[in-house]
Amino acid sequence: MTSTVGKVFLVGAGPGDPGLITVKGLDLVRRAEVILYDRLIPHQLLSEAHPDAELIDVGKVSQRPQQKISQEAINAFLVEKALEGRLVIRLKGGDPFVFGRGAEEALACRAAGVPFEVVPGVTSAVAVPAYAGVPLTHRELVTAFTVFSGHEDPRKRESGIDYSALAASARMGTLVLLMGLVNLDLIVARLINAGLDPETPAACIEQGTTPHQRVVEASLIQLPAAVQAAGFEPPAITVIGSVVGLRAAGVNWLSKVDQALP
Ligand code: SAH
């Protein structure tokens, strides 16, 4: 007797605006039999799911962090549901392979003999600055951008972030910091210590691409205090570099969007 193995799709849901999922991703959301979704996905997308689909929230953060569903448990869940012969979607915020642990899930599927596909998503690293009117590159200003995570494994004794390398890359490009709100003052101090100009333009964007988006703009040295005064909470992204100035120069478009688009 042979049983059919289902399939797992690792799907990027985009950063917040439900319109930013790909056509392929939305099609899969509509066809899925099981959807395991994260906290940071646009929740309106779930109303697109089939009425019989099983929707499982694996992003729930309880009062006690140790009760958060572990990555191992999510991997096991994915494999288990696929082995039941079902079409399983792992719906993740932004892009599954940008700080999304998508590769861990892909490897778990591979190890269990479960076929999988990856559907990239619009990453918050690019889309959130764009919705704040900050292009990550501009021909006359920068030729590169660097995306880095401010969240580090608390078990590590020393910082895994090479601040002098970041300061060097900031000389030719833009820095984009994800998961960096809690340690923002420390990260900014280390960047300045590594040689970054304290007056470098910077912006922090909270809940980007959603109707709740807020933006704080300040020089690098003043940013942590400004962000704290505004009471920002995760999720937030920080952009550092001369391109932030383009926002005030006329690229900021969101507040100018005509409510009654044709
Ligand atoms: N895979 C995701 C990133 C996951 S890490 C992606 O490609 O977008 C989670 C971090 O992403 C958050 O801590 C925050 O820094 C950033 N982020 C995700 N959605 C965001 C949003 N709507 N606004 C601001 N930052 C966001």
pLDDT at 1: 47
pLDDT at 256: 60
For this structure, is 38 an active site residue?
Answer: yes
What the chain holds in terms of domains, given with CATH numbers, is 7-122 (3.40.1010.10), 125-257 (3.30.950.10)
For the CA of 179, the closest atom of ligand 1 is 13
Using alpha carbons, select from 251, 252, 240 the residue that is nearest to residue 142.
240
**Whole-structure pTM value:** 0.93
Active-site option among 17, 38, 57, 95: 38
pLDDT at 65: 54
Give the pLDDT confidence of 52-69 residue by residue, as tens digits: 999 999 986 554 555 678
For the CA of 210, the closest atom of ligand 1 is 22
Pocket test residue of 22, 44, 237, 240 for ligand 1, highest count of atoms within 8 A of CB: 237
From the CA of 208, how far away is ligand 1's center (Å)?
Answer: 9
How many CB atoms neighbour CB 129 within 10 A? 25
Dist. CA 220–CA 202, nearest whole Å:
5
210 phi/psi in degrees, rounded to 5: -105, 170
pLDDT at 59: 85
As to burial, measured by CB atoms within 10 angstroms (0-12 exposed, 13-18 middle, 19+ buried), residue 67 is exposed
Pocket test residue of 21, 40, 147 for ligand 1, highest count of atoms within 8 A of CB: 40
Where does ligand 1 bind, in terms of residues with CB under 6 Å? 15-16, 40, 92-95, 98-100, 123-125, 128, 178-179, 205, 207-210, 234-237
* Residues lower than pLDDT 50 in the chain: 1, 63
pLDDT at 159: 74
pLDDT at 160: 80
pLDDT at 151: 85
pLDDT at 194: 96
For the CA of 102, the closest atom of ligand 1 is 1
Which segments of the chain does DSSP mark as H helices, in order?
23-31, 71-83, 102-112, 124-131, 163-172, 184-193, 223-230, 245-246
CB 122 within 8 A of CB 26: no
Pocket test residue of 17, 99, 124, 176 for ligand 1, highest count of atoms within 8 A of CB: 124
From the CA of 233, how far away is ligand 1's center (Å)?
Answer: 12
Nearest CA to ligand 1 atom 13: 179
From the CA of 234, how far away is ligand 1's center (Å)?
Answer: 9
pLDDT at 235: 96
Give the pLDDT confidence of 236-255 residue by residue, as tens digits: 999 999 999 999 999 999 97
Active-site option among 27, 57, 68, 179: 179
From the CA of 18, how far away is ligand 1's center (Å)?
Answer: 14
Dist. CA 92–CA 37, nearest whole Å:
6
